[in-house]
Structure 1
Amino acid sequence: MKRFFRADRVLRKLELTGLLFPRYNAGKFILLYAKGKGRRAMHPAMGQLFMRKIISAGITTFLFTIIFAIGEPDLFRIPNNLSLGDRLHEAFSSVCFYLLYAGPVIYVYGSMTSLLSEIIARFVAPRRWVQLTVSAVFHGVFGLILYQISLLAAAIFYLSDTIFFITRKKPLTPHITVASVLLPLGLWLASWIYIRMTG
C-alpha cells in the first residue's frame, strides 16, 4: 500500500514536469510500479525526449552549417568583395569542412546541454511558457562557450527543438531518429561531390 501511494506521488510529479507522456495511462503506471516495474514504465518518456534531441541536433547541424558557411565562406582569407555567385561557391565548398567540426560538437555538447536545460526547466517551472523561457535562458548560457558562433548554434537548436516539439504529435521512433542523421550526412556528401566536380 505504501508503494502504491509513493507511486501516486511520483506520477503526479512526472505529470507536472511533463516527463510522463499523456498516452501512458495513470492506473497502468501505478499498477506496474506496484509490481516492481516502475522503471520500465517511465523509460519511454525519457526515450522520446532523447530521440527528439538527436533529431534537433541533426536539423541544427544542417541549418547552422549552411548559415555559417554563407556568412563566413572563407575563415582564412576572409574576402569582403565577393560577388553573390562567388560567395555561394565558396560557401558550398566549405560546408563539408565546417560539418566535420560543427557536427560532433552539436550532437554531443548541444544535445546534452539542451537535454539538461529542458529537464531543469520542467522541474523548476509548472507552466509551459515559463518552461520554454527558462529553457531558452539555459540554452543561451550554454551557448556562450564560443561566443557568437556557439550562441548562433544554441539559438538554432532551441528554435528547431521547440518547433519540432510543438508540431510533432505522434511518438518518435528509432527509425525516424536514425533517418534524421541523413540530413547533415547528405549535405556533407553533396558538398564533397561539388568540390570534386569543380576542383
Structure 2
Amino acid sequence: MGFRGEISQVLTRKIITSSIAGSLFAILLGLFVPNPFGEDISSIGVYFQGFVISVPVYLMYSFPVILLYGTITSTISDYVARVISNYTNRNFKLYFSIILHILFGLILLWYSLLASFLYFITDYILSKRGTYKWNNALKSIGIPALVWILFMWSVYIIG
C-alpha cells in the first residue's frame, strides 16, 4: 500500500472513530452531567428529562470538535508514536500513543480527557478490525445524526 492508500485508510478509520466516540461522549456526558447549569435534580423524572435534553446539545457542540481536533491530533499522535517507537522499541508504540492522546486531551481537562480516552479506545478497537473505505466513513456520520434525531424526538415526546 502506497502513501496515499495509507493516508486514506487512516483518515477513514479516524472519521468512523470520531462518529462513534463523539456519540458515546455526548451520551456519557449527558448521563453524568444531565443539567449543565447546576440546578438541583429532585427526582428520576427530572434527571431523565435533563439527560434527554442535554445529549443533543452536547452532541451539537462536541461532535464537530471531536471530528476535527480529534482526527488531527490522533493522527499526529499515532504518527509520532510510530516514529519514536522505531527509534526505541516497537513494542512501546501503543504506550507512546496513549501518552500523546492524553497530552492532547488535557486541553479542556476532564471533558476533553474523557473524549480523548473514548477516541483512543474506539480507534484501537477499530484498528484491529480491518480496513475501511470512504463509503464506510461517510455512512458513519449517520451515527451522531441518528443519536441527535433520537434524542430530539424524545425531547418532543416529553414536551
Aligned to 1:107: 67
Alignment pair present for 1:148 and 2:77: no
Aligned to 2:6: 45
Q: Which runs of 5+ in 2 are unaligned?
A: none
Residues 58, 180 of structure 1: 8 Å contact kept: yes
The whole-number CA distance in structure 1 between the counterparts of 2:107 and 2:138 is 28
**Residue by residue, what CA displacement relative to the aligned partner does 1:87-117 show, whole Å, maximum 9, x if unpaired?**
2332122111111110111001111000100
Q: Which runs of 5+ in 1 are unaligned?
A: 1-23, 25-40
User: Amino acid of the residue matched to residue 147 of structure 2?
Assistant: L
CA-atom RMSD, angstroms?
A: 1.5
Aligned to 1:20: none
User: Amino acid of the residue matched to residue 157 of structure 1?
Assistant: Y
Percent identity of paired positions between Structure 1 and Structure 2: 30
Alignment pair present for 1:130 and 2:92: yes
The whole-number CA distance in structure 1 between the counterparts of 2:107 and 2:48 is 28
Residues 49, 158 of structure 2: 8 Å contact kept: no
Aligned to 1:75: 36
TM-score by length of 2: 0.92
Aligned to 2:57: 97
Residues 41, 47 of structure 2: 8 Å contact kept: no
Alignment pair present for 1:182 and 2:142: yes
CA shift for structure 1 position 76: 0.8
User: Amino acid of the residue matched to residue 108 of structure 2?
Assistant: L
**Residue by residue, what CA displacement relative to the aligned partner does 1:107-135 show, whole Å, maximum 9, x if unpaired?**
01111000100010111103554111101
Residues 70, 91 of structure 1: 8 Å contact kept: yes
Equivalences, count: 157
CA shift for structure 1 position 77: 3.2
Residues 13, 132 of structure 2: 8 Å contact kept: yes
Greater Rg over alpha carbons, structure: 1
SS of 1:77's equivalent in the other structure is: coil
After TM superposition, the runs of 4+ consecutive aligned structure 1 residues lying more than 3 A away are 126-129
The whole-number CA distance in structure 2 between the counterparts of 1:115 and 1:196 is 38
Residues 72, 78 of structure 1: 8 Å contact kept: no
